[in-house]
Amino acid sequence: MSGLFSPGSVGSPVVEATSDQAFLGALLAVESALVRARAAVGMAPPDAAAVVTEVAADVGRFDTDDIASRAREGGNPVIPLVAALASAVPREAADHVHRGATSQDILDSALMLLSARALDLILTDLARTERALARLAAAHRDTVMPGRTLTQHAVPTTFGLKAAGWRSLVLDARDRLIDVRASLPAQLGGAAGTLASFRTEGAYGRGGEALTSAFAGELGLCAPTLPWHALRTPVADLASALALTAGAHGKMAADVLTLSRTEIGELSEGESGGSSAMPHKANPVRSTLIAAAARRAPGLAATLHASLVAEDERPAGAWHAEWEPLRDLLRLTGGAARDGAELAEGLRVHTDAMRANLDRTGGAITSERVAAELARVVGGAAAAKALLTDAASRARAEGRTLASALAEEPALRDVDITALTDPTRYTGFAGDLTDRALERR
Catalytic residue ranges = 275, 314
Separation of first and last alpha carbons in the chain: 38
What SS3 class is residue 104? helix
> How far is 267 from 274, CA to CA, in rounded Å?
17
Q: Which residues pair with 349 in a beta bridge?
A: 267
DSSP 94: H
Contacts 24+ apart (CB under 8 A), 390-394: 392/364, 392/367
**Neighbouring C-beta atoms of residue 271, cutoff 10 Å:** 11
CA distances from 337 to 9, 232, 241, 321 (A): 9, 26, 13, 25
Dihedral sign from CA coordinates of 409, 411, 413, 414: negative
Residue 341 CB burial class (10 angstroms; 0-12, 13-18, ≥19): buried
What SS3 class is residue 264? coil
296: which residues sit within 8 A by CB, 6+ positions away?
246, 328, 332
Closest-CA residue to 115 (of 307, 318, 312, 328):
328
Residue 387 CB burial class (10 angstroms; 0-12, 13-18, ≥19): buried
DSSP string, 131-188: HHHHHHHHHTTT-EEEEEETTEEEEEEEHHHHHHHHHHHHHHHHHHHHHHHHHPBP--
Q: What type of residue is 143?
A: T
**Neighbouring C-beta atoms of residue 54, cutoff 10 Å:** 12
> How far is 120 from 325, CA to CA, in rounded Å?
19
DSSP string, 331-387: HHHHHHHHHHHHHHHH-EE-HHHHHHHHTTTTTGGGHHHHHHHHHHHHTSHHHHHHH
What SS3 class is residue 283? strand
